[in-house]
Homo-oligomer: A and B are copies of this chain.
Amino acid sequence: MADDRRYKVFTLKNIQAPTFTMTALELKEYINFTVKRVYFITSPKGEMKSGNHAHRAEEDELFVQLQGQSTIVVDDGHGLEDVVLSGPQNAISVPHMVWHGFKDMSQDCVIVAITSTNYDPVRADYCENYEEFQKLLKEE
């Protein structure tokens, strides 16, 4: 992936302990923000998708595919791309001004999101219109 890419895909190391599998993230290796919120996406149903937005200026996120599979659709200025994530070994950092949404989540999909903001119900930081997102990118 070229250096001008804003998102980054990681392959995590799974440690096989005698009685469980351990997957550990030393956060300084993955993010450069203070974690304010952690949220979990489980039990997908219907269209098996979520999201499709970018954060304008504030929210940076790290997504961990902890179980099952999903495809995250991202655009960091290079057009829409599909990135397939498999658990428990994939994570992807998605800073603000990267369009992102999940699709094709498997029945057993578990996604952990580690984020830089507390949730704002006003959603002022959310850009949920892809055409507007492309305009914002050009104005940067």
Contact = CB atoms under 8 A, between A and B. Distances in A.
A26 B112 contact: no
Contacts of A22: 39-41
7 contacts: A19-B46, A20-B45, A22-B39, A24-B40, A25-B38, A26-B118, A38-B38
A43 interface: yes
A57 interface: no
Among A20, A38, A66, chain B packs the most CB atoms within 10 A around the CB of: A20
Contacts of A130: none
Interface of A: 17-28, 34-50, 64, 66-67, 88, 105, 110, 112, 114, 118-119
Given A38-B114, A112-B38, A112-B112, A43 B25 contact: no
A66 B68 CA distance: 14
Nearest to A30: B38
